[in-house]
Structure 1
Amino acid sequence: MTCPRVEIDLAKIEHNAHQLVTLLSGRGIDVTGVTKATLGSPEVAMAMIAGGVARLGDSRIDNLEALRDAGIQAPLTLLRSPTPDQADRTVACASVSQVSELEVVKALSAAAGRRGVTHGLVLMVELGDLREGVLPGDVLDLARRISRTPHVTLAGLGTNLACRAGVVPSTDNMGELSMLATLLEGELGLHLPIVSGGNSANLAWAIAAPAGRINDLRLGESILLGCDPLTRMPLSSLYTDAFTLVVPVIESLAKPTVPRGATGEAAFGVPMPMRERGTIVQTIAAIGRQDVDPEGLTPPGGVSVLAASSDHLVLETPHRLAPGVELRFGLDYSALLRAMTSPFVVTTFAATKHHPPSLSPSLPPIANPTPAILRSLSSPLTPRSARRHQRAYAED
């Protein structure tokens, strides 16, 4: 089958989840496994659960609904504030939402009341990265209002760093979040079960410093790709190749290295300068910017990415390749996110035993992956729209 696809090794995802859960549990921190980069894949979610995550989180309601429709019973957290008109769907599929606006709190309260449930809220705090969250000076007032609102409960505090401005999690900002949690508990006479310090970018801080009140991290990239988002460097003991993009060749011809004729802007702005290097083998793979971030691809040895248009990935290869030959690429987070979202890229799953990567003393080796994960999960290539309705696991 020669269409673009992402091959996902579920055993490697389970391994990575287990390693991180084990590491952080020694510091009193639970892991929320984040599925948004895989379009809320139930198969990936189950691998994370098998690896020991305490709950699952996703920023898209559609993805959380797909997890519930697949029969996943783990607690689900909506990692982006819903709009007020999404409150009913949110309460129906998630047990906790991240919020920062009173109007959203009121909408969730009304939706929870109609369902006869209590919905948990994690109040997000802005600690420097300038994405979402209320300023620290406004936390107590909004928390007090939440505590007086029926059908919702203040389940915790959270923050997010290293996403917009690249602010690094540190002893200072994590200490500030801890102090705010203690302040709210003292002022409001309640207990906050969740103090969520952030995402995979928090790992270096969590390993090096005391956690204080932080007892939850929301991990996606580190579990899926085995790397530190702050540096994109591999994390010891984790697999970095759980995802592989496989793309067929559609053309491979000898061509000059510089264009002929007057030039202007290309399809995506000003093209990169092209240096005269004589004739090369220029190979085109059947994927483009509509489907993947070309800057986030790691090509196979001897192959380099020259450019990409909407539907063509232009490569330099050592020799001509026959149309239909498949090339295999590694992906960074941006490339993975876009490939998993594209309806033109399909997904296959595998779960096979592997020798673990080199282990460090701080990350103990994983036990054998669970039988459910090691069951044969190679499935026919499936368009993204149909994949939501698949069940890759038999009931135990």
Structure 2
Amino acid sequence: MAHIHINLSKIQYNANVLRQLLATHHIQFTPVIKCIAGDPEIIRALNQLGFTHFAEARLENIEKAKEVEAANTFTLIRAPHLQELKQVVLNTTMSIQTELTTIRQLNDVAKSLNLKHPIMLMVDWKNAREGVLTYDIVEYVQEILHLSHICLRSIAFNFMCFNEIPPSESDIEMINRFVTSVEKETSYRFGIFSGGNSSMLPQMMYNDLGRVNDLRIGESLFRGVDTTSNVPIPSLYQDAITLETRIIEIKPRIEVNSGRQYLQAIVDIGKLDTEVKDIYPLGHDVDVLGATSDHLMIDLKNHDQYQVGDTITFRLGYNALAQTMYINQMEKIYQNDKAIDLLNKHFNVCELNKARK
């Protein structure tokens, strides 16, 4: 039966590497967990490393994660609709906001609950998804500072979420200048300067990010890749989460148009289970031909060692990973690797020694 294979040790290792890497640049690592659908075992594994604050886009996933550990806190990274504002105030420690109308109503809800709610103001910087337009930021900040139950905690930027344009060295310089200019004009200094997501990692490696002191990292954590090029990051695992399928049929086929003969296998997943254009055979010299709702057809390239019942494992792109993790009917099998656990233990000892110094 097809299932998602989740190696918790590899996820922990990736998290340790990223945390150490960002720490050398004096940047806070905020794990983004939206692509794992609030999976309790993964969150528990991250809790074991000391991570207790996460970024998440869905309130229902936040509620699930709070059941794992009541001390977990969350930044909501999708702007809420008006009917969700009470949940936002009660269940998150900070939320991304982009609309003054929503922020005003959020202030009213927070006031009615006698709570103050911190917000992260997202700026649209060539991404064209969500965000306040740059020429409106000063007006937003000035009004927000007069709201009694809203705390303006952070300013944030996004790259490659919609427009697939990676951040450049020029972007880094410009967003730093922009934030400094806004602070000067409003006489307000932001505590958190969240400079982007996984796509900012290559720039961090080779350039000074200036005042950026937070990055929201999800895809590189769970997939181990440089999201600007989809190239593996050598120090990270790319197979922490994989899709394992079973062959249910093997037959010789003839391609109708060309007459080409080939050996075809069918495995037990389809379009209902994952984004089939975003899965890649792992350790198998085979090609994905296509899929229907419940069947995935594979060209075995005339390798005759395969038999019905054999396993074909797939590496998952981001869209496939997210879709598969949200399928409730898909079984999840968890693994801990003793050798990698020893490496993780060494990481933790190193961190402890640093803290003691």
**Cross-structure match for 1:58:** 56
Distance 1:355 1:50 in 2: 14
Cα distance, 1:338 vs. partner?
A: 1.2
Identical-pair percentage:
30
In structure 2, give the amino acid aligned to 1:347.
K
- Which of 11, 14, 35 aligns to 1:13? It is 11
**In structure 2, do the counterparts of structure 1 residues 195 and 8 end up closer, same or farther at CA, with 3 Å as the change threshold?**
same
Consecutive unaligned residues of structure 2, counting only runs of 5 or more, are 350-357
Q: Tell me, in whole angstroms, the C-alpha distance in 1 between the residues paired with 2:340 and 2:90.
A: 41
Q: Is the 8 A contact 1:21 1:53 kept in 2?
A: no
Q: In the alignment, which residue of structure 1 is the partner of 2:297?
A: 314
Q: 1 CA distance for matches of 2:229 and 2:113?
A: 44
Aligned position for 1:229: 227
**Residue number in structure 1 paired with 2:318:** 333
Residue 81, structure 1, aligned to residue 64, structure 2:
no
In structure 2, what is the Cα distance between the partners aligned to 1:206 and 1:370?
23
Residue deviations 1:21-50, cap 9 Å, x none?
111111121011011111022322233344
Deviation at 1:329, TM superposition (A): 1.4
1:311 Cα deviation from its structure 2 partner: 1.3
Distance 2:168 2:91 in 1: 33
- The 2-side partners of 1:44 and 1:152 are apart by 32
The alignment's TM-score, normalised by the length of structure 1, stands at 0.82
Q: Which amino acid aligns with 2:73?
A: P
Cα deviation for residue 351 of structure 1 reads 1.8
Partner of 1:187: 185
Q: Structure 1 residue 127: deviation in Å?
A: 1.0
CA distance in 1, matches of 2:197, 2:326: 21
Instruction: Give the SS at the match of 1:354.
Output: helix
Give the C-alpha shift of residue 305 in structure 1: 0.8
Q: Does residue 283 of the first structure (1) align with residue 268 of the second (2)? A: no
Deviates more, 1:294-303 or 1:62-71: 294-303
1:69 corresponds, among 67, 70, 74, to 67
Query: Within the alignment, does 1:368 sit opposite 2:346 as a pair?
Result: yes
Query: What SS is found at the alignment partner of 1:305?
Result: strand
What is the TM-score with the length of structure 2 in the denominator? Answer: 0.90
Aligned-partner SS, 2:346:
coil
Supply the distance in 2 between the matched residues of 1:344 and 1:285 (Cα, whole angstroms): 16
Provide, for residues 358-379 of structure 1, a one-character-per-residue CA deviation record: whole Å limited to 9, x for no partner.
xxxxxxx7543779xxxxxxxx
What secondary structure, in the 3-state scheme, does the structure 2 residue paired with 1:98 have? Answer: strand
2:276 — aligned with what? 294
Asked if structure 2 preserves the Cα contact closer than 8 Å seen for 1:61 and 1:90, the reply is: yes
Higher helix share: 2
Aligned counterparts, 1:25-40, within 5 A:
25-40=23-38
CA positional deviation for 1:304 = 1.6
Distance in 1 separating the partners of 2:173 and 2:52: 23
| 1:66 Cα deviation from its structure 2 partner | 1.1
Q: Aligned to 1:345, which of 307, 330, 339?
A: 330
- The 3-state SS of whatever aligns with 1:306 is strand
Deviation at 1:344, TM superposition (A): 2.7
Deviations 1:248-291 (A, max 9, x none): 22222222222xxxxxxxxxxxxxxx64322x221111111121
Alignment check: 8 A CA contact 1:31 1:54 kept: no
Amino acid aligned to 2:44: M
Instruction: Measure the CA separation in 2 of the matches of 1:29 and 1:61.
Output: 26
CA deviation vs aligned residue, 1:120-147 (integer Å, no higher than 9, x gap): 1111111112111111111110111111
How many residues align? The count is 345
Q: 2:92 aligns with which of 69, 94, 98?
A: 94
For residues 344 and 42 of structure 1, the distance between their equivalents in structure 2, rounded to whole angstroms, comes to: 16
Deviations 1:62-90, CA, capped at 9 Å, x for gaps: 11111112224233111110011111111
1:125 has 2:107 as partner: no
Task: Give the Cα–Cα distance (whole angstroms) in 2 for the partners of residues 324 and 149 of structure 1.
Answer: 62
Q: Which residue identity lines up with residue 256 of structure 1 in the other structure?
A: I
What RMSD in Å do the two structures reach over aligned CA positions?
A: 2.1
Give the Å deviation of 1:310.
1.4
Unaligned 5+ residue runs, structure 1?
A: 259-273, 357-364, 372-396
Aligned AA for 1:153?
Answer: C
